[in-house]
Amino acid sequence: MFHLGWFVGNGYSVQSWGRDWAGTDNDDWWSPSLYADAARALERACFDFMVFQDGLMVPDVFGGSMEADLKFAQEIPRSDPTAMVAVLTQVTKNLGYIPTISTSFYPPFMAARMLATLDQLSGGHAGGNLVTSASDRAAQNFGLEGHHDHDLRYGMAEEWTDLVTQLWDSWEPGAVVMDTERHVFADHTKVHPIHFAGKHYSSRGPLNTPPGPQGRPVISQAGGSPAGREFGARFADVIFCVPNGIESMKAYRRDIHERMAAHGRAPEECKILFMVDPIIGETDQVARDIAAARAEKKTTDAYVEEHLSVMSYFSGIDFAQFDLDQPMPDLDGKVNAQQSTMARYQKDAAGKTLRELVIAHNMVATIDLVGSPDTVAAKMGEVIEEVGGDGFLLSGPLNRKNIAEITDGLVPALKRRGLTRSSYSGATLRENLREF
């Protein structure tokens, strides 16, 4: 069997706004109703978790202006996903929730406290998706002139995570005794200052709230660069990745396991989930028609402009300055932002003009999955058998139609093949991740 997660790529934001099947999202995108409906459906389908992307600024790289990003609702708005997660923990029992947390800008004590609180609220089904952030504009919102160098950010993130985990561990198991007869809430001999003093961070501790049921909330990570992979191999319980094709998927998994071994960790301690965006139809032909229609929309000027603004955000380089009908410029050594993402663009750019690259590129799919539920389920099973991976992180439009196609179409086909669980066996998110 393999695991399933859902990536809310827009975070707590507008989802299908301005697009087909938006439902009420055009008018009340801030309402929890869409997310609550999705969460109930995903739990019914026995997904492991939902993970929420986030951002901390309004981009203005493309054309030197905020215009395109605000026009297309691209990377904006971004409301705080931890608040949405707190609401969603009350509508499900077994589904996990993982909001994105920036190690560069969240004070470690506050992050440790917030995630411990979410773990309490969710009954042990919370986690944090740790990112280092990538934008100078985000850094400027927190009082810096610009963001730190890429590898320095990951070095700081390792120290940050060391500190956060020590804060979670500052309460020993059994510290909370709740002895009403002796009027003792907690055993003071089991709660300890940590006196952490690092190069970048320090904290006396202890945390001022007991840990939740998991002790340490689940940590997820999605870095694809060598520094990002090293960080994930050391700390993560689940890693998300977008290698291109079967052989790249195998190589990525092998690399992470080798890095984990160097840190004294066993492969089963961290699940590797490959991102996919299935296109489901009642028949294979219907699905191919849907895929063709989506591909046609990608040829419009509006789509090209929107995608270029995304590439500008990812790279920190203004793509409005480049000729669309010339090859993509060589960005080697020029990107301090999302290096692995832009490396994939560079690889896919071979033999294409910039316009052709934008139209053809798929940011969130390791493999193409197009067909009926049975066809796609069979392909997913074949891929996992060949790669040996742990599962898939599904990324697609967050609307009720797409959720239903996955949870009520694809997942039953997966269950019939014995590929995914039919019920939860663990009491926490970590236990469900470790089930197989």
- Residue 75's region, left for phi above 0, alpha for psi from -120 to 50, else beta, is left
Q: Beta strand 176-179 with 184-186: parallel, antiparallel or unpaired?
A: antiparallel
According to DSSP, the residues that pair with 370 across neighbouring strands are 279
- The structure tokens listed for 339 are 């290096």
- The structure tokens listed for 290 are 């849907």
Half-sphere exposure of 107 (CA within 13 A, CB side): 6
Q: What CA–CA distance (Å, rounded) separates 366 from 349?
A: 16
Q: What CA–CA distance (Å, rounded) separates 406 from 394?
A: 9
Classify residue 173 by burial, with Cβ atoms within 10 Å: 0-12, 13-18, 19+.
exposed
Q: Is 425 known to sit in a ligand binding site?
A: no
Q: Is 225 known to sit in a ligand binding site?
A: yes
Tell the residue number behind the tokens 């989930």, with chain if given: 273
**What are the residues whose beta carbons fall under 8 Å from the beta carbon of 284, sequence distance 6 or more?**
370, 371, 372, 375
Asked whether the beta carbons of 371 and 287 are under 8 A apart, the reply is: yes
Q: Is 27 known to sit in a ligand binding site?
A: no
Q: What CA–CA distance (Å, rounded) separates 255 from 389?
A: 12
Exposure string over 281-301, b if 16+ CB within 10 A, otherwise e: beeeeebeeebeeeeeeeeee
Alpha helices per DSSP H over 175-268: 226-235, 246-262
Q: What CA–CA distance (Å, rounded) separates 43 from 367?
A: 25
Q: What CA–CA distance (Å, rounded) separates 421 from 419?
A: 7
Q: What CA–CA distance (Å, rounded) separates 191 from 97?
A: 27
Asked whether the beta carbons of 178 and 120 are under 8 A apart, the reply is: no
Q: What CA–CA distance (Å, rounded) separates 433 from 371?
A: 28
- DSSP label at residue 293: H
Q: Is 195 known to sit in a ligand binding site?
A: no
- The structure tokens listed for 231 are 């960080």
Q: What CA–CA distance (Å, rounded) separates 221 from 224?
A: 9
Q: Beta strand 3-8 with 49-52: parallel, antiparallel or unpaired?
A: parallel
Q: Is 148 known to sit in a ligand binding site?
A: no
Q: What CA–CA distance (Å, rounded) separates 269 from 233?
A: 10
Residues that constitute the known binding site for FMN:
54, 100, 150, 154, 225
Residues that constitute the known binding site:
54, 100, 150, 154, 225
